[in-house]
Structure 1
């Protein structure tokens, strides 16, 4: 009877033990890269499409990578600035009617009547910038609006980053598994 010797079995077993942690590390790193791509795309869109901006909206973007309740590693990109929501979804009847790409479970509710913005509470001429009519009520100047259209910057940026996601994830997995040694 012949003796069979498996060379490197201990090394193989060690690699199999650390592989789940290596793959998890790769997913975390890939998700950070993906949300950074989305953040960069969103900032570029804001900077190229905003004429009258202080950069406040671009600098309000935040992202994180976390593990959800099911144990999946996910990346998130958002802004706490209410202007981001108004820009992404639009406002009033104009925003409601404007085309936009939203997830299936998102159903915004829009104001159904015009509203008035006191001219002395804004630092720009909303008539000159957005064409909002000026009216006077009891000698005080107001801008009247039915809202603004959606001008999405987050959803397109996230979608673009998502399209790049599989390539980014593959690169990180190959890199992590390469650290274990051997051919991949």
Structure 2
């Protein structure tokens, strides 16, 4: 997810002597934690391994500050996108950009999305969080 006009605003804040990078990191971290919490709430809790492995991080890559909610559990992708015939026919979320192979000789399991819905239901809130942190930085510079 990107926010239109962000580059221009960041340049202006920095030109005025502000620290847009710090404000962005703080806002993106707060937004990432919100999505992480909802993803944990939405994840199936069989033994709790998947739910407990969901983490939120913020990193800088090629000048961009990126919030990421992920898991390192091997079966996570199968839970999110389903498996076999039932997974392929699951209506949501959008299919994986990875080349997931849905075996046709096996019924499999329905998708139980938790990451995609967590992001979708928080799009407006996450943008607002980032905006609030940038506005706070502007106010420090004497803006209204």
With normalisation by structure 2, the TM-score equals 0.80
Aligned residue for 1:9?
none
Aligned residue for 2:56?
63
CA contact (8 A) 1:95 1:110 kept: yes
CA contact (8 A) 1:35 1:161 kept: no
- CA offsets per residue over residues 55-102 of structure 1, 9 Å max, x none? 211111122111223x21110111111222111000111101111222
Specify the structure having the higher radius of gyration (Cα).
1
How well do the aligned residues superpose, as a CA RMSD in angstroms? 2.0
1:110 to 98, 102, 123: 102
Deviation at 1:104, TM superposition (A): 8.1
Matched pairs, number: 131
CA contact (8 A) 1:34 1:162 kept: no
Divergent runs of 4+, >3 A: 103-107
Deviation at 1:161, TM superposition (A): 2.6
SS in 1 for 2:91: coil
Distance in 2, matches of 1:101 and 1:62, equals 20
CA contact (8 A) 2:81 2:95 kept: no
1:159 to 114, 120, 140: 120
Distance in 2, matches of 1:163 and 1:170, equals 11
Aligned residue for 1:135?
none
Aligned residue for 1:91?
83
For structure 1, the residue ranges without an aligned partner over 5 or more in a row are 1-14, 115-145
> What are the equivalent positions in structure 2 for 1:25-174 lying under 5 Å apart?
25-46=22-43, 50=45, 53-69=46-62, 71-102=63-94, 105-114=97-106, 146-174=107-135
For structure 2, the residue ranges without an aligned partner over 5 or more in a row are 1-13
Where is the strand percentage greater, Structure 1 or Structure 2?
1
Distance in 2, matches of 1:43 and 1:62, equals 9
Q: Is 1:183 matched up with 2:112?
A: no
CA contact (8 A) 1:64 1:77 kept: yes
- CA offsets per residue over residues 81-132 of structure 1, 9 Å max, x none? 1222111000111101111222784552212212xxxxxxxxxxxxxxxxxx
